[in-house]
Amino acid sequence: MDLGDGIAQPSHSHSKAELVFTTRGLLTCEVAKGLWMVPPECALWIPGGMEHSGRSAGELEAYVLFVDPDLAEDLPTECCTVSVDPLLRELLTAAAQLPPLYDREGADGRLVQTMLDRLRIAPVEHLHLPLPDDARLRTIAQALANDPSDRATIGEWARRVAMSERTLARFILRETGMSFGSWRQQFQIRFALERLAGSASVQSVAFDLGYESVSAFITMFKKALGQPPGKYASCSGRSSFPRTSRNLQ
């Protein structure tokens, strides 16, 4: 499904877990029938063996760490986007500078273990957009991706895809784990993060999404993510994939 423009990384997998920490721009990864959004000061955890692809928006700067299975045993077995606090940020950037064959029994090994300990308790952000299997729901998903400002009610969507409103609501909950309103809101958040990564103003994003006032958009965004949209704004420019990559083993 075509969900936007940007520099893309094709679908791939690897045996090691992957941790992507974004410092600028926005990275969107498709993993396990869903999109995971990674704005600045957030990190995406991808367990080993999972097929995933990536697409950037704005001037992307990120660190990528590959973690051996024996170091990731008690870390999440599912993808998640986590918030990165100042301490975890410093640990991640320091770990990204380690040599490939760092001393696991020395100071470098202790640094990595501390980083993983902080990662285990990092707050999980609500930055997941589930993509359903059902063809009718995929039709709705594509339409919302193309126009996240669409304010059609669930009843109107039910008529468009020839389903009853109750059946459609049940299907959406079953396949996404969300209500229709929450699922649609995730499309709006994704659109907003991409535009903000490209240096669009909060006002223009709010109006493009069909909000009657900027304050209403800010309220929605802050309620969903715990931070105002201005926090996620970054400089525009040509996208590029991660500048630093390290194996932790």
Distance (Å) of CA 108 to CA 37, 89, 91, 99 = 30, 16, 11, 9
CA distance 157 to 147: 14
Per-residue pLDDT of the chain (249 residues; tens, 9 = 90+): 444 446 778 888 889 999 999 988 899 999 878 999 999 989 999 999 999 999 888 888 889 999 998 888 889 889 999 999 999 999 999 998 898 888 889 999 999 999 999 999 999 998 999 999 999 999 999 999 999 999 999 999 999 999 999 999 999 999 999 999 999 999 999 999 999 988 899 999 999 999 999 999 999 999 988 889 987 764 444 444 455 555 655
Q: End-to-end CA distance of the chain: give it in Å, rounded.
A: 35
CA distance 111 to 190: 34
Q: What pTM was estimated for this model as a whole?
A: 0.84
